[in-house]
Amino acid sequence: MTTRTTNRTTNRRRTADRRVRRRTREGGGPGRPPSTRGLLLDLDAPSIDLARRHLVGSGVEDRVTFEVRDAADPALAHRYDLVTVFEALHDMSYPVEVLRAARGLLADGGVVLVGDERTAESFAAPADDLERLYYGFSILHCLPVGMVGDGAVGTGTVMRPTTVDAYARDAGFARVEVAPIENDFWRFYLLRP
């Protein structure tokens, strides 16, 4: 039990943390739509093993690859049209560094799409039921894992849009916009260099 917990803690300390995914479009040409290829990364080997098992028989085995790998690995030489970070940025000890690495993976015209909890625009007391639920998640899990490591920022679940904007600009993004996607639980951000 201790080894597993230590390994999980170590994995969460990695600069890219977890769940950074990238997708790229390739192919195309007159009369032929581009095919989409996906490379999905996670530092948690059991998650990748499970993903590979689910991929079998899906019909896209030739276009999707799963790897246990740090998304901030400088050896990732490919350029991607879309880099995604879902339900993870608020957990990361070093979100600016992760976003900087994601920006470095983008092809010209590429975009980073971040999906994270739809918290209130600003703090207000008393908070509504959903905001209180997010604070509960944050105190019990998200904030502690985001505080691992020297200089960790410890964002936690209740990450406001202004925080995402600040992290993205510190990572070198010139444009940060909230995508016009209505959802009660999620807010989506488009980050452009």
The string of pLDDT tens digits covering residues 28-82 is: 444 445 568 888 888 889 999 999 999 999 988 999 999 998 877 767 756 788 9
Output the pLDDT for position 169: 98
> What are the backbone angles phi and psi of residue 140, rounded to the nearest 5°?
-85, -25
Output the pLDDT for position 37: 82
Output the pLDDT for position 42: 86
CATH number at 2-192: 3.40.50.150
Which two tokens mark 170? 């510190």
The separation between CA 49 and the C-alpha centre of its own chain, rounded to angstroms, equals: 19
Amino acid present at 160: R
Run of H or E residues at 103: helix 95-104
Q: Nearest-CA neighbor of 101 among 22, 189, 4, 187?
A: 22
Q: Which residues of the chain have pLDDT under 70?
A: 1-35, 74, 77-78
The residue extents of the domains of the chain are 2-192
How many beta carbons lie within 10 A of that of residue 43, not counting itself?
A: 22
